[in-house]
Amino acid sequence: MKRITEITKRDILDLFRHGLEIDDFFDTKTVTYQYFGCLEELEFLKRMYVLHNMPSNDSRFENAEQDIWQHTVNNDDYPYCWVFEDSRFNLQNGEDEVYLKFLCEVFHPTVRYEKGYWKEFLTEINRLLRIDGYELYSVNKMSNHDVFGWRVFQREESVFFIPFSQRNAKEIKEKRSNFSISKKARNQIYQVLEQYNEPYQATSETGFNYNTTIAADVFSDIRQFYVPKYFNAQKEYVETDNLHDFIISNFPAYVLDAIELFARHSMLADYEAQINAILKLNEIGFQLEDGKIVNSFDARISKVSLEVVEEAGLKELLQETMKFYDENNLQLAVEKLWDAFERLKTYYCSSTIDKKKSVEKIVLDMSGGQQPYMDLFDKEFHELTTIGNQFRIRHHETTKVDIQDRRHFDYFYKRCISLISTAIDYLDGRNL
């Protein structure tokens, strides 16, 4: 896929070559950041490419490694950022996936210079990439440092963020989403929220400066959907703007609302990890992912697993699937999931490999060559294909068996996601 335009690539190249203007009190200054971070340039490239197997552009040398050493170390006569325009690396005219993988490596914890302006460069690069439909995001941590991957950028369709209790109102009312949060866990959650309840000065639309807090912003967001209340000592359910009361003496779903809304207002990276540690410690079956509470027992594709998908079209469909599933739109989630299933089948397709052979390769990788597992996964691919052909997975297919019970949608979703989430862990010979 080639969504990233020449213009965006040119702007990112200019950014590395000429620097970035940032605010410096009442002035601006230009700061720079080298793409290979704290490493030597050749050392950085060897992390991604087998240079001794790549051709040399200099007839005096046998391979790219010798060529690059000569012109970046011995003589240092290659222009800065030459790699972005060197056809051997497919960054200028190659697929988006190649370019994005390169940028992720630029910001890898082993590479990046922590005391440099990497955060400012990451922010600006993301601004440019989002125009073309991608973004870099934290997918994992290494020694408490963010490891970045790439994903298709999905713009929020709604003006307002819809909190957990409202997204799941029907399930909660019908008691299909029934869970509890102990007093101990509530106290732990409150302590974390209070830690991030920072005071700050805001400016009104009329230009008036006033003091406020993160908690005040959270309660303001809540009031767009319901009046915040708590159970007082007399067991009366009364209105409150007190964070402690709201967390300690309230329905569990509203506690999860507060967790989500604090995530939207807090910019500190450790918040999600702290909340998830508490939820896991207290065996509460939810986790916070990218600012949303999701059911940790549901069949999902982890961020780490999704990151191994190097084909943008498949990654986009899986992201859309999870988005609709989190919004409880099971019909659209299943439709997108089956589109992803069909796309997965073509993952290895080329001029010499057709769809059937592509599936055979996926099954072979998943089974490790063991015949019983080959039979198992091959059968599952065929049966899911039959389901897609027989039932009305896609809303426009009017001649197939209709699906009217949302529990059937849930069954189709969980069965298909189970196969896909396993398969993607083995793509490109990986064994996570």
Q: List pLDDT tens digits, range 240-291.
A: 999 999 999 999 999 999 999 999 887 556 888 899 999 999 999 898 987 8
Question: Backbone dihedral region of 155: left (phi > 0), alpha (psi from -120 to 50 degrees) or beta?
Answer: beta
Residue 163 has pLDDT above 50, yes or no: yes
In 3D space, the residue among 110, 114, 161, 131 whose CA is nearest the CA of residue 3 turns out to be 131
- What is the rounded average pLDDT of the residues 111-133? 95
List CB contacts of 138: < 8 A, sequence separation 6 or more: 146, 147, 148, 269
d(CA 2, CA 209): 46
pLDDT digits (tens, 9 = 90+) for 410-430: 899 999 999 998 999 898 876
List CB contacts of 15: < 8 A, sequence separation 6 or more: 121, 124, 125, 128
Percent of the chain with pLDDT strictly greater than 90: 67
Contact 180, 345 (CB under 8 A): no
Contact 94, 9 (CB under 8 A): no
Contact 255, 283 (CB under 8 A): no
- What is the rounded average pLDDT of the residues 280-303? 80
Q: Provide φ and ψ at 412, rounded to 5°.
A: -60, -40
Q: Residue 64 — very low, low, confident or very high, per pLDDT cuts 50/70/90?
A: very high
Residue 431 has pLDDT above 60, yes or no: no
Q: Hunting for tokens 């200054």 — which residue is that?
A: 29
Q: What is the DSSP letter of 268?
A: -
d(CA 145, CA 37): 15
3-state DSSP assignment of residue 140: strand
Percent of the chain with pLDDT strictly greater than 70: 95
Contact 412, 393 (CB under 8 A): yes
Higher pLDDT, 378 or 301: 378
Residue 157 has pLDDT above 70, yes or no: no
d(CA 288, CA 280): 11
Partners of 20 in the β-ladder: 31
d(CA 216, CA 228): 12
Residue 11 has pLDDT above 80, yes or no: yes
Partners of 225 in the β-ladder: none
- What is the rounded average pLDDT of the residues 297-312? 73
- What is the rounded average pLDDT of the residues 95-112? 96
Q: What is the DSSP letter of 73?
A: I
Q: Residue 230 — very low, low, confident or very high, per pLDDT cuts 50/70/90?
A: very high
d(CA 301, CA 284): 19
Q: Residue 158 — very low, low, confident or very high, per pLDDT cuts 50/70/90?
A: very low
d(CA 353, CA 359): 10
Residue 386 has pLDDT above 70, yes or no: yes
pTM > 0.85: no
What is the per-residue pLDDT for 297?
61
Which residue intervals of 266-367 are DSSP H helices? Answer: 270-281, 303-307, 312-326, 330-345, 355-367
Largest CA distance in the chain: 88
Higher pLDDT, 174 or 69: 69
pLDDT digits (tens, 9 = 90+) for 326-364: 777 889 999 999 999 999 999 999 888 999 999 999 999
Q: Provide φ and ψ at 201, rounded to 5°.
A: -100, 125
3-state DSSP assignment of residue 156: coil
Contact 200, 270 (CB under 8 A): no
What is the per-residue pLDDT for 303?
67
List CB contacts of 24: < 8 A, sequence separation 6 or more: none
What is the per-residue pLDDT for 395?
75
> How high is the mean pLDDT of the chain?
90
- What is the rounded average pLDDT of the residues 48-58? 94
3-state DSSP assignment of residue 288: strand
Four-residue CA torsion sign, 421, 395, 359, 372: positive
- Chain centre distance of CA 159: 21
